[in-house]
Amino acid sequence: MRPILQEADMAKPFKVSDDTFEAQVLQAKEPILVDFWAAWCGPCRMVAPVVEEIAATYDGRLKVAKMDVDTSPNTPGQLGIRGIPTLILFKDGIEVKRLVGFRPKEAMVDELLPYIEGTE
- Catalytic positions are 41, 44
**In angstroms, how far is the first alpha carbon of the chain from the final one?**
35
Distances (CA, A) of 5 to 1, 8, 71, 73, 111: 12, 8, 33, 36, 27
Amino acid at 117: E
Which helix (H) or strand (E) segment is 21 a member of?
Answer: helix 21-21
DSSP assignment letter at 97:
E
